[in-house]
């Protein structure tokens, strides 16, 4: 079951991110984005009463009036990986991004994973951001023309130091 995260889920989400990633950077990022009010929404995958997946979106500050979001982080419990949970989280959350009126989404992610959802480095080519130029920096337009013109996007302060 995929649903929106609740405050009561925060300890389990923290533990999940610690288990899914080497080190605490992603768990700390989630906490900073929440504390700074930069988290737009979070979703969790729940199985047998446990949080087994998590995804978070934060607002990117653009030099336009359009809403752009950053997908980061996305985690699945190590013992539940390769079962489609992450894919379900990404697909469900991207649909919600569209419902929220987001113009486009950016991710700094795995080159073999995110393109299956439509993300590409080519779509991010005209985006000026701290991660521009990295092949792992990918964009997904949710509306026509979202990344056609040059665009400067600033990430929330919570991303500093990653």
The pLDDT of residue 63 is 83
pLDDT tens track for 17-63: 999 999 999 999 999 999 999 999 999 999 999 999 999 999 999 88
- Tokens 């500093």 sit on residue: 160
Cα distance between residue 126 and residue 13, in whole Å: 34
CA 10, 42, 116, 107 dihedral sign is negative
Map out the domains of the chain with their CATH numbers: 2-151 (3.40.630.30)
The pLDDT of residue 83 is 93
**Cβ atoms of residues 3 and 46 within 8 Å:** yes
State the DSSP H helix or E strand holding residue 138, giving kind and residue range, or none if neither: strand 137-141
pTM for this model (two decimals)? 0.95
Q: What is the DSSP letter of 113?
A: T
pLDDT tens by residue, the chain, 162 residues = 999 999 999 999 999 999 999 999 999 999 999 999 999 999 999 999 999 999 999 999 988 789 999 999 999 999 999 999 999 999 999 999 999 999 999 999 999 999 999 999 999 999 999 999 999 999 999 999 999 999 999 999 999 867
């Amino acid at each position: 079951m995929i649903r929106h995260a609740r405050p009561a889920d925060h300890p389990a989400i923290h533990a999940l991110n610690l288990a899914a990633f080497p080190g605490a950077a992603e768990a700390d990022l989630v906490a900073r984005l929440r504390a700074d009010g930069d988290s737009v929404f979070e979703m969790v995958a729940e199985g047998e009463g446990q949080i087994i997946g998590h995804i978070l979106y934060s607002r990117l500050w653009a030099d336009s009036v359009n809403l752009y979001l950053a997908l980061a982080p996305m985690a699945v419990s190590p013992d539940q990986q390769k079962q489609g949970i992450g894919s379900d989280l990404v697909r469900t959350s991207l649909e919600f991004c569209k419902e929220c009126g987001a113009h486009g989404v950016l991710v700094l992610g795995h080159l073999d994973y995110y393109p299956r959802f439509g993300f590409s480095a080519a779509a991010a080519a005209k985006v000026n951001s701290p991660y521009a130029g990295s092949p792992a920096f990918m964009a997904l337009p949710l509306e026509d023309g979202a990344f056609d013109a040059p665009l400067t996007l600033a990430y929330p302060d919570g991303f500093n130091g990653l």
